[in-house]
Amino acid sequence: MDHQTLVAVLLLAPLVGFFINGFRYRKHNHLVAGAIATTMVFISFVCSILLFLNLTEMKEENRRIVVSFFEWLKVGNFKAEFSFVIDQISGIMILIITGIGSLIHLFSIEYMHHDKGVAKYFSYLNLFVFNMLLLVLGSNLLVMFAGWEGVGLCSYLLIGFWFSDESKAAAGMKAFITNRIGDAAFLIGMFILFLQFGTIDFANLNGLAPSTPTHDWLNPLTIACLLLFIGATGKSAQIPLYVWLPDAMAGPTPVSALIHAATMVTAGVYMIVRLNPIFMAAPNALLVVAIVGAATAVIAASIGIVQNDIKKVLAYSTVSQLGYMFLGVGVGAFGSALFHLMTHAFFKALMFLGSGSVIHAMHEEQDIQKMGGLKKYLPITHLTFAMGWLAILGFPGFSGFFSKDEILWMSYHSPMGHPALWVAGVLGAVMTAFYMTRLMALTFWGESRVPKNIHPHESPALMWIPLVVLAILSVIGGWIGIPHIISEILPGHPANIWEHWLNPMITKIPGLAAANPQEEWTLMGVSVTLVLLSSGIAFIFYGKASELPSKLSENFGGLYRLLVDKYRVDEFYEKALIRPFVWLSENLWLHVDVSFIDRCTHWCSNFVKGAGAMARTVQNGNLQQYAMYMALGLVVILSYILMR
Instruction: With a cut of 80, say whether residue 184 has pLDDT above it.
Output: yes
- pLDDT single digits (tens) 214-225: 889 999 999 999
- pLDDT single digits (tens) 91-134: 999 999 999 999 999 999 999 988 888 999 999 999 999 999 99
Q: What was the pLDDT predicted at 260?
A: 80
Q: What was the pLDDT predicted at 613?
A: 80
Residue 16 CB contacts under 8 Å (≥ 6 apart), including other chains: 40
Q: What was the pLDDT predicted at 594?
A: 87
Whether 213 and 285 have beta carbons less than 8 Å apart is answered as: no
Instruction: With a cut of 80, say whether residue 556 has pLDDT above it.
Output: no
Q: What was the pLDDT predicted at 612?
A: 83
Nearest Cα neighbor of 150 from 142, 140, 139 is 142
d(CA 303, CA 245): 13
Q: Please report, as a single letter, which amino acid is at residue 381.
A: T
Count CA atoms closer than 13 A to 519's CA, side-chain side: 10
Strands (DSSP E) contained in 226-311 are: none
pLDDT bin (cut points 50, 70, 90) of residue 25 is confident
Whether 354 and 381 have beta carbons less than 8 Å apart is answered as: yes
- Average pLDDT, rounded, for the chain: 91
- pLDDT single digits (tens) 33-78: 999 999 999 999 999 999 999 999 998 878 899 999 988 888 888 8
- pLDDT single digits (tens) 311-351: 999 999 999 999 999 999 999 999 999 999 999 999 999 99
Instruction: With a cut of 70, say whether residue 545 has pLDDT above it.
Output: no
Q: Which contiguous run of DSSP H or E holds residue 301?
A: helix 283-304
Task: Provide φ and ψ at 414, rounded to 5°.
Answer: -65, 140
Whether 48 and 95 have beta carbons less than 8 Å apart is answered as: yes
Q: What was the pLDDT predicted at 126?
A: 96
Whether 251 and 104 have beta carbons less than 8 Å apart is answered as: no
- pLDDT single digits (tens) 138-173: 999 999 999 999 999 999 999 999 888 888 899 999
Q: What was the pLDDT predicted at 273?
A: 96
